[in-house]
Structure 1
Amino acid sequence: MTTTKDSIHIQLYPFLLARKNFYQILHTLFLEPAKDNFLFDEGLVRNFDELKEVHEGGRILADAFEHLTSNEKVNIEREEYWRLFVGPGVLVAPPWESYYRSKEHLLFEEWTLQVRELYHQFGLQSIQENNEPEDHLLLEFEFMIFLIELSLQALDIEKIQELISKQIDLLQEHLTIWIPEFCKRVMDHTTSRLYLGAAMVLEDFLNFDLTSLLEIKEAVENV
């Protein structure tokens, strides 16, 4: 016999799985471009073929993927990736939370330590701890994906509630605070259709994801 709590778990599964897949897409978009990476992944291209019908950033990304058909074009995007996010030189869109939340735009500030502590609570540790800031965009995405995976594996609704609360905290206390400014910098300083579209999709998705999670949390608590 299926209980109400079991039913809620079953209903949440597609929602959680879709979120995990989208965070993985976002993670891939902000990896360094390479021919054997996402730029030639037909599955990823199909995702933005669907998104382009409802979102301008998705339309721009679909167009970008359609034209990324040679090593030369991939190399152009790789150069832009380094200019925006890696260096050398002054970065126009540093991908670390502390940069945006520190008045002096410093790294390894309190926000780095906060996310490090979050990782440690779940037995996670960056292999570059103390050498590279753990509040990097990709690491925070990876942590969200990890939390969603735990939610998908959880066997009781109380554990899912706890994990959803952690994901809400990650969005409210970290991702939605600094990533909008990061996205704005990307949009203001790139002519790349790839990174313009990626930034537009990222900015809007985080707000949508937070709203959806808050609604889910309320619904589950009322069961």
Structure 2
Amino acid sequence: MSVHILPEKDQALYNVLSLVASCFYRPTPELLEDLQTLPEIVTFLDPEMADAADRMLTEIKNQNLDELLKEYSRLFIGPFQLEAPPFGSVYLESEGRLMGQSTSEVKRMYKECGLDLSPDFKSPPDHVAAELEFLAYLGLQENSSQDEEQKMFYQQQRALFLHRHIGYWFPLLAENIEKHTFQPFYMELSRLTRQLLELAQADLEVWCTSND
């Protein structure tokens, strides 16, 4: 039985990944507005994921922004023990080293796809938000390309990036978030993101099998 996502659901998957990526940045008052469409898109993509999206939206509506900022900082910034480091190299490099070879590979992949980080982006290139945005970009470019060679390029990049980077290390970050967070918003964000990446990987496995 094929689990390949229909083209319109491919679009929905990568739109949702772009939305959840924004949740891994420092929370702002605009975040609530940005997430208004999240439950609707997630329900279209997979109704079983809808509860997590609904709870995220409910939490951010009811949560004081200062409290959300405190939890964000405690999990992802510090200043003391970093409970859930949001950088791929922490999970991929020996001894959790920042800015290692894996970070350089991520930066190279961005450039190969014609992208560069904004000068306003002060975090390492393998920050979880940047990697999720890049995965969404690859999926959307693949989905919209009319050129078969270009489509194949984005498919291959997506497969490599999921296998070697965000799809590999995000479950480790999710474990840290779900172990240490006191905030339901980040608990649901972690769970939903994990499910979305599993869906992306399942779809990719079907594509790879059909192209063997």
Using the size of structure 1 for normalisation, the TM-score is: 0.80
Structure 2 matches for 1:16-165, cutoff 5 A? 16-38=10-32, 41-47=35-41, 54-55=48-49, 58-69=50-61, 73-127=64-118, 132-165=123-156
What is the Cα deviation at residue 45 of structure 1?
4.4
CA distance in 1, matches of 2:144, 2:55: 36
Match of 1:14 among 8, 18, 23: 8
Instruction: Could you list the structure 1 runs, at least 4 aligned residues long, displaced by more than 6 angstroms after superposition.
Output: 49-52
Checking the alignment, whether the CA contact within 8 Å between 1:154 and 1:160 is kept in structure 2 is: yes
Correspondence 1:216 to 2:171: no
Checking the alignment, whether the CA contact within 8 Å between 1:112 and 1:134 is kept in structure 2 is: yes
For residues 144-196 of structure 1, what are the alpha-carbon distances to aligned partners after superposition, in whole Å with 9 as ceiling and x for unaligned?
Answer: 12222322332123321221121011001111221111000000001211000
Gaps of 5+ in 2: none
Radius of gyration: which is bigger?
A: 1
What is the Cα deviation at residue 40 of structure 1?
6.9
Checking the alignment, whether the CA contact within 8 Å between 2:12 and 2:45 is kept in structure 1 is: no
CA distance in 2, matches of 1:40, 1:120: 27
Checking the alignment, whether the CA contact within 8 Å between 1:33 and 1:39 is kept in structure 2 is: no
CA distance in 2, matches of 1:109, 1:128: 21
CA distance in 2, matches of 1:214, 1:174: 16
What is the Cα deviation at residue 49 of structure 1?
6.6
Checking the alignment, whether the CA contact within 8 Å between 1:85 and 1:95 is kept in structure 2 is: yes
* Identity level (%): 22
Gaps of 5+ in 1: 1-10
Checking the alignment, whether the CA contact within 8 Å between 2:32 and 2:61 is kept in structure 1 is: no
Checking the alignment, whether the CA contact within 8 Å between 2:117 and 2:125 is kept in structure 1 is: yes
What is the Cα deviation at residue 66 of structure 1?
2.0
What is the Cα deviation at residue 212 of structure 1?
0.5
Q: 1:66 to 1:151 in 2, by over 3 A?
A: same
Read off the aligned partner of 2:196 and give its amino acid letter: F
Of the structure 1 ranges 136-145 and 11-20, higher mean CA displacement relative to structure 2 is found in: 11-20
CA distance in 2, matches of 1:179, 1:95: 9
Correspondence 1:207 to 2:198: yes
What is the Cα deviation at residue 12 of structure 1?
5.9
Of the structure 1 ranges 81-90 and 42-51, higher mean CA displacement relative to structure 2 is found in: 42-51
Using the size of structure 2 for normalisation, the TM-score is: 0.84
Of the structure 1 ranges 12-21 and 186-195, higher mean CA displacement relative to structure 2 is found in: 12-21
What is the Cα deviation at residue 18 of structure 1?
1.6
Structure 2 matches for 1:153-192, cutoff 5 A? 153-192=144-183
Of the structure 1 ranges 180-189 and 161-170, higher mean CA displacement relative to structure 2 is found in: 161-170
